[in-house]
Structure 1
């Protein structure tokens, strides 16, 4: 009677019978999940392809929303979706003419499965969206190479960055990679941030495009000049007028926040290093400088009018300082900044007029910073008379701070900036023109007019 209960001969068969539905369920569920996930991946690829195809229409003249939508619908009606395994999908297309963006939304029911079909999310329609942005025939005038920090491009207080005919590219993936605060304004043909942007519609024209791909250093292949032995040591010209410098420092420091305070630090440098060379009472003295290696830098004080002959000026182990009342002018000149202390500072009421070389290894480059320089060091423009700065600022390790009171570079045919960061504070107006046909100074490859491109934005 109890022998049957003790008999274990059929246990394996019974266990197999009990487990078989579970095993089949797991296997079927796995097949269902793989199929469901694969459909979504293929639908995403199709959406990416359609969005990219639509965005390419922006590279043509006079693209319209209806034209772009017609192109995408035509692709779908041709049976293109079958290449991805879909007999039909429902599409929805939207465009942003200002940004050059096309968004494609694709919807379709999932295929019937074995196990998971009746469970959420596997029974819901696939709903996939892709956005592509076109940048075609654009002019690039600002590339901020900083990839992590906030404010790779920033404007604060009442500053203005005007680049109507060209694009501003910030590589920072920070949620505030581009910053415009207070009454400041950043205005450009396109503002592209690798991350996000701080500010509202009053601070931007147009609003920045988010999540842009990193823009590679366009001058990374440009060879740096060879630095020889010192031709000049601690070159200094003009008067130092300490009381005016101190007054300017107080004015600048009180006009805005910490960035302005940093700008004012350079005023002390001028006061401490200006020398009384060839002074002649209060009359202005003109000095003519030749290209060469200036060890210890160059200091230009009040009542000095420094005229630069064409060529490359190597500023080594010291700054390029133009203090209050100093004047520096030169056509077809470039500055190579090498050494930890080799920054430039253009103080209030300094007068500057500089154009980059037409030919040679630094053609089109006005300032070239040593690629081994300390990262984050600051180059300052406080001058209210720096209207002609024609060429490219290449400061791959440094921060360019503009904190003047009057427009900067507005009388230049073009000005391009490739820097770790570009920061503006106080009340300056930095004007970046793009009249490349209006000058015989060449535009380095990678800035100025660049080829068209279309990229996907998540």
Structure 2
């Protein structure tokens, strides 16, 4: 009887599966919880990424708008970006854990904003934290009608731009920048006049004079906009230490053709010279246009190669030059060898240098304008990128920005700058 009872009890236990269901459910529950948590976390991550991207976009535009106003220091960039981005994120309950960074790029035309944060964890201690986190970025670029027309690249000199005595610098509808962080990076004397939309110094100003411009300090330096521009290819010498003296006339100019002029090129006496369109490499000697010489060149560019190569326009020399439309020096009137010793002087001493349409790129040298009259006043536009700019005595350097009236191209990185920020794709 006892055996029968035991068999019946065992049968009931074998047929009753309720205990097994409970055991299986207990085993499966953690996996179900983890799966639900992962689903929730990735859903939140998707939502957070959308919010973060919108915040990054809006923040980049806000910072670029500050940049378009011409005054966005590193400190101000941090203030603008952190304040704006955090307000956007806090409005969507993303208050903590945000890593926000920003930088100015593209020769001071763009602001890049990055926002990162860890993924949310619905069950801390149970689910592993996603170490990769969430990251978004946005770049806003200033586009519109602002223009850079003068840049002094020297970052340390006490006189990156020196405007002396009664000199005038007139930058028509464009901006002048000094990269020097010295408190006297821009130096001036009484009697000077600077006219520009914006005069911006990374450091400060010393001296006196009249500034008809929005005058700012602590400006972010302008990266060399032509640093990636390659030098023209080397060629065999076309001439050695060529001197052109007492040749040509107003009705029959003496003609020079493109090529490499080794040992320099001297144009003197009463010579009246025409440069045919193209690239002129002046190598291991100066380019000198002496008193009473008269030169003209349409679509010509000069590459100044070697330690001894500078240009000099001396008193009463008449100079009318337009940079090339195309070729290795497209847009460049002068291009200084980047390997030479810094500090060499390129001189404009003549009162009759009326047209210099194009870009003067002298990244290692000082452009000295020591005339007593207007210089470059008939140019369609003149862009100046130099290590230093020095206006001596009382010249009136006129830097125009009428790009549309000339076929000479404006090199990338110069010319029109921002007004309205737009998101870059």
Q: Which residue of 2 aligns with 1:287?
A: 254
Instruction: Find 2:402's aligned residue among 425, 435, 444.
Output: 435
Aligned counterparts of 2:156 and 2:326: Cα–Cα separation in 1: 35
**Structure 2 counterpart of 1:321, from 250, 266, 288:** 288
Taking structure 2 as the reference length, the TM-score comes to: 0.66
Shift of 1:203: 2.4
Q: Is the 8 A contact 2:144 2:416 kept in 1?
A: no
Alpha-carbon shift at residue 383 of structure 1 (Å): 1.1
Q: CA offsets, 1:235-278, max 9 Å, x none?
A: 11125xxxxxxxxxxxxxxxxxxxxxxxxxxxxxxxxxxxxxx6
Match of 1:233 among 208, 227, 240: 240
Give 1:397 deviation, angstroms.
Answer: 0.4
Matched residue of 1:437: which SS? helix
Deviation at 1:286, TM superposition (A): 3.4
Out of 189, 192, 200, the residue aligned to residue 200 of structure 2 is: 192
> How far 1:302 moved relative to its partner?
2.2
State the SS of the aligned residue for 1:224. coil
User: Which residue does 1:53 correspond to in 2?
Assistant: 62
Provide the secondary structure at the position in 1 that maps to 2:280: strand
Q: Partners in 1 of 2:373 and 2:159 — Cα distance?
A: 23
The answer as to 2:416 corresponding to 1:449 is yes
Q: Distance in 2 between matches of 1:55 and 1:279?
A: 54
Q: Provide the rounded CA distance (Å) in 2 between the counterparts of 1:81 and 1:360.
A: 54
Native 8 Å contact 1:152 1:170 kept in 2: yes
Counterparts of 1:143 and 1:350, CA distance in 2: 26
Q: Please state whether the residue corresponding to 1:231 is helix, strand or coil.
A: strand
Aligned residues: 306
Q: In 2, Cα distance between the equivalents of 1:154 and 1:398?
A: 14
Deviation of the 1:432 alpha carbon: 0.5
Is the CA contact 2:164–2:189 (under 8 Å) kept in the aligned structure 1? yes
Specify whether residues 196 and 136 from structure 1 end up closer, same or farther in structure 2 by C-alpha distance, changes over 3 A only.
farther
Go from structure 1 to structure 2 and tell me whether the alpha carbon gap of 1:301 and 1:136 turns closer, same or farther (over 3 Å shift): same
Kept after mapping to 2: 8 A contact 1:403/1:424: yes
- 3-state SS of 1:206 partner: strand
Give the equivalent residue in structure 1 for 2:156.
Answer: 148
Report what 2:226 is aligned to.
219
Work out whether residues 59 and 137 of structure 1, in 8 Å CA contact, stay in contact via their aligned partners in 2: no
Partner of 1:358: 325
What residue in structure 2 maps to residue 335 of structure 1?
A: 302
Match for residue 63 of structure 1? Answer: none
Which whole-Å CA distance do the structure 2 matches of 1:301 and 1:373 have between them? 26
Q: Is the 8 A contact 1:285 1:304 kept in 2?
A: no
**Structure 2 segments unaligned to the other structure (5+ residues):** 1-57, 70-82, 97-141
Q: Larger % of strand: which?
A: 2
Q: What is the alpha-carbon distance in structure 2 between the residues aligned to residue 396 and residue 330 of structure 1?
A: 23
Query: Is the contact between residue 163 and residue 187 of structure 1 (CA under 8 Å) also seen in structure 2?
Result: yes
- Is this contact kept in 2: 1:284–1:305, CA < 8 A? no
SS for the counterpart of 2:340 is coil
Output the CA distance in 2 between the equivalents of 1:135 and 1:427: 36
Equivalent pair of 2:267/2:289 in contact (CA under 8 Å): yes
Query: Is the 2:165–2:190 Cα contact (8 Å) retained in structure 1?
Result: yes
How far apart are the structure 2 equivalents of 1:160 and 1:337? 27
- List gaps (5 residues or longer) in structure 1: 1-48, 61-71, 86-133, 240-277
Matched, 1:399 2:366: yes
Shift of 1:214: 1.4
C-alpha distance in 1 between matches for 2:144 and 2:95? 29
Rounded Cα–Cα distance in structure 1 between residues aligned with 2:347 and 2:67? 38
- 2:137 is the counterpart of 1:158: no
Q: Equivalent residues in 2 for 1:38-437 (5 A)?
A: 53=62, 56=65, 80=91, 137-200=145-208, 202-238=209-245, 286-437=253-404
Deviations 1:431-456 (A, max 9, x none): 000001111111001111134599xx
Deviation >6 Å, runs of 4+: 49-52, 75-79
Change (3 A) 1:50 1:440: closer
CA distance in structure 1 between the aligned counterparts of 2:170 and 2:92, rounded to whole angstroms: 44
Q: What is the CA-CA distance between 1:59 and the residue it aligns to?
A: 5.5
Taking structure 1 as reference, are residues 81 and 418 closer, same or farther at Cα in structure 2, changes over 3 Å only? farther
Instruction: State whether residues 403 and 428 of structure 1, in contact with CA within 8 Å, keep that contact through their aligned partners in structure 2.
Output: yes
Q: 1:187 Cα shift?
A: 1.6
Q: Quote the offset at 1:321 in angstroms.
A: 0.5
Larger Rg, first or second structure (1 or 2): 2
Classify the secondary structure of the residue corresponding to 2:232: coil
Cα distance in 2 between the residues matched to 1:162 and 1:329: 24
CA shift at 1:185, angstroms?
1.4
Distance 2:275 2:415 in 1: 26
